[in-house]
Amino acid sequence: MSNIIDINDNIPHRVTEVICVKCCKRWIAVRPATTKLKDLDCSNCGKGYVIETGENFDDNGTDC
């Protein structure tokens, strides 16, 4: 049997601090680089209110 590699393991990801502009909740978001901020869910408010704070947590300052 061969080893099966999940293609999703190799998708570039972003790690940034985000904030919900509706309720001001902050958290660290780890998401595929292709995910739009408008598609992130705030656990308090839902979709469409999330923006990045500008704080980047990737090791090299770019997408992983």
Return contacts of 11-14, CB within 8 angstroms, 24+ apart.
12/63, 12/64, 13/63, 13/64, 14/58, 14/63, 14/64
> What are phi and psi for residue 60, nearest 5 degrees?
-105, 10
* Model confidence pLDDT, tens digit, residues 23-37: 999 999 989 899 999
pLDDT, tens digit (0-9, with 9 covering 90-100), for 40-54: 999 998 888 999 998
Please give the model's pTM, rounded to 2 decimal places.
0.69
- What percentage of the chain reaches a pLDDT higher than 90? 47
Q: What letter does residue 13 receive in the DSSP assignment?
A: E
